[in-house]
């Protein structure tokens, strides 16, 4: 059987298993097992045992449950509410007014949670009722929340960047730093769009009656101090080289626990709930990663990734043409799979092609996260859409329609980092190796 036929057979089996509702990790394991048994002479039991054991004690992967736990602690404390209250007084005069609370609130919470869904749930729980009560248009309330919550995937510490770093053996610290400027770029694009909409249709944005003085704004800003300290402690320790991402994650958990406890809204029961929730999420992701590692090794034994990369090479695609094709591919794939599954399913096959045309794997990681961010707000499996539907009860297709402008802005972000790759690479290059 030819390589394209083998690849089509394995892909078809994977799609059938996923369509049947089987867990992603189990589906990957079955496909890897079939690939080795049917299309190679390798001893499947030995390969499975050594692969799972070898990938189950990856030190960089230890950062994953710690960052998830940090986000869960913040989700259950009053720190997120304090952050919201600290931002509101400063944004009442800007075009778009309190809609920017969604954007900046998501950006700040993304920098301490690492999760898109947690960002959407936390900020949405506070902002949607408040903005609706004040009379802001539903399309912009939902759109800004859905779009800005995707920043949880990009702004460090990002769970999906840890997954990509482990899967591709890239430096997680360099990936984190690479995500900072693209994240700020997206915040600027989102805020700029809201300002343009507000200027074009000023009647749609309600006037804010309260006009706080500078002194009142400064007093309110004190509520931002704990979150800023947490961000500075985690990201600063990585950027300065004082701590590895795993060490910084442990520091983040410690700081988040102390800060949450000092608010008086976080008790022992909340900590246990956060611990159990983080454990469930971490086990799910780790199971997927182990299965993906087994599939990667299995595909290596079949020779498909190497031959597929060589086949793609015969088309003589330029880097831009390959990226255009991959963008369409990832957007379509993201309509049916969550972001982590997209990353672990594709990296072993896609990365050889990408490197063959001279694309930097570090840059490609940020590009991939940007494209996966789009998948968070595309039906039918956009996780952010489900989270917001749970918060608001609004039809998921209506939420998707409100999020469409932000999907297009994410696409603009992909074009910008493709045209100016320095946006991604300049900060990591300053870190050295």
Of the candidate ranges 38-47, 191-200, 245-254, 332-341, the one whose mean pLDDT is the lowest: 332-341
pLDDT of residue 411: 92
What's 433's DSSP letter? -
Residue 207 has pLDDT above 60, yes or no: yes
Query: What's the sign of the alpha-carbon dihedral 186, 157, 65, 266?
Result: negative
Nearest CA to 138 among 123, 128, 147, 126? 128
Distances in whole angstroms, Cα of residue 27 to Cα of each of 13, 34, 278, 287, 332: 9, 11, 23, 11, 20
What is the token pair recorded at 39? Answer: 């299309």
d(CA 259, CA 223): 12
What is the token pair recorded at 151? Answer: 């920043």
- pLDDT interval class at 263 (50, 70, 90): confident
pLDDT of residue 333: 74
Phi, psi (degrees; rounded to nearest 5) at 158: -100, 130
d(CA 149, CA 118): 8
Residues 6+ apart with CB under 8 A from 42: 36, 301
- pLDDT interval class at 363 (50, 70, 90): very high
pLDDT of residue 308: 64
Average pLDDT across the chain, whole number: 82
d(CA 286, CA 291): 9
- pLDDT interval class at 312 (50, 70, 90): low
pLDDT of residue 208: 66
Residue 1 has pLDDT above 70, yes or no: no
What's 204's DSSP letter? G
Q: What torsion, rounded to 10 degrees, do the Cα atoms 229, 269, 121, 59 define? A: 60
Ramachandran category for residue 190: left, alpha or beta (phi over 0 → left; psi -120 to 50 → alpha): alpha
Of the candidate ranges 145-149, 213-217, 235-239, 310-314, the one whose mean pLDDT is the lowest: 310-314
pLDDT of residue 60: 65
Q: Determine the average pLDDT of the residues in 271-285.
A: 85
d(CA 77, CA 279): 18
pLDDT of residue 57: 73
Q: Determine the average pLDDT of the residues in 271-294.
A: 82
pLDDT in tens, 92-131: 677 887 888 889 888 887 877 777 777 787 788 778 888 8
Higher pLDDT, 40 or 308: 40
pLDDT in tens, 12-43: 888 788 778 787 788 888 988 998 988 888 89
Residue 366 has pLDDT above 90, yes or no: yes
């Amino acid at each position: 059987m030819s390589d394209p036929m083998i690849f089509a057979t394995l892909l078809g089996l994977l799609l059938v298993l996923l369509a049947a509702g089987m867990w992603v990790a189990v589906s990957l394991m079955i496909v890897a097992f079939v690939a080795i048994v049917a299309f190679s002479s390798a001893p499947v039991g030995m390969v499975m045992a050594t692969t799972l054991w070898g990938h189950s004690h990856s030190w960089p992967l230890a950062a994953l449950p710690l960052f998830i736990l940090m986000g869960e602690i913040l989700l259950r404390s009053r720190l997120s509410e304090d952050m919201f209250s600290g931002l509101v007084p400063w944004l009442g005069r800007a075009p778009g007014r309190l809609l920017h609370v969604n954007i900046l609130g998501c950006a700040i919470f993304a920098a301490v949670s690492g999760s898109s869904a947690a960002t959407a749930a936390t900020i949405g729980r506070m902002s949607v009722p408040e903005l609706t009560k004040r009379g802001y248009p539903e399309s912009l309330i939902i759109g800004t929340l859905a779009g800005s919550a995707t920043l949880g995937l990009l702004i460090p510490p990002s769970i999906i960047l840890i997954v990509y770093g482990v899967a591709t053996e890239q430096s997680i610290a360099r990936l984190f730093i690479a995500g900072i400027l693209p994240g700020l770029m997206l915040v600027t694009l989102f805020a700029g769009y809201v300002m343009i909409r507000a200027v074009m249709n000023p009647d749609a944005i309600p006037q804010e009656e309260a006009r706080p003085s500078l002194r009142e704004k400064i007093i309110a800003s004190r509520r931002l101090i704990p979150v800023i300290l947490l961000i500075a402690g985690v990201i600063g320790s990585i950027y300065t080289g004082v701590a590895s991402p795993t060490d910084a994650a442990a520091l983040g958990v410690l700081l988040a626990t102390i800060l949450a406890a000092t608010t008086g809204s976080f008790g022992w029961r909340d900590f246990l709930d956060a611990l159990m929730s983080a454990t469930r999420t971490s086990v799910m992701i780790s199971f997927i990663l182990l299965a993906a590692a087994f599939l990667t090794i299995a595909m290596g034994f079949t020779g498909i990734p190497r031959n597929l990369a060589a086949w793609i090479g015969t088309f003589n695609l330029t880097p831009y043409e390959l990226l255009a094709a991959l963008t369409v591919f990832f957007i379509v794939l993201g309509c049916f799979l969550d972001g982590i599954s997209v990353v672990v399913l594709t990296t072993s096959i896609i990365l050889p092609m990408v490197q063959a045309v001279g694309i930097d794997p570090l840059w490609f990681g940020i590009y991939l996260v940007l494209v996966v961010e789009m998948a968070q707000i595309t039906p039918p499996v956009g996780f952010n859409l489900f989270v917001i539907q749970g918060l608001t009860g609004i039809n998921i297709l209506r939420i998707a329609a409100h999020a469409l402008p932000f999907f297009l802005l994410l696409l603009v972000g992909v074009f910008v980092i493709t045209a100016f790759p320095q946006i991604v690479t300049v900060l990591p290059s300053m870190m050295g190796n």
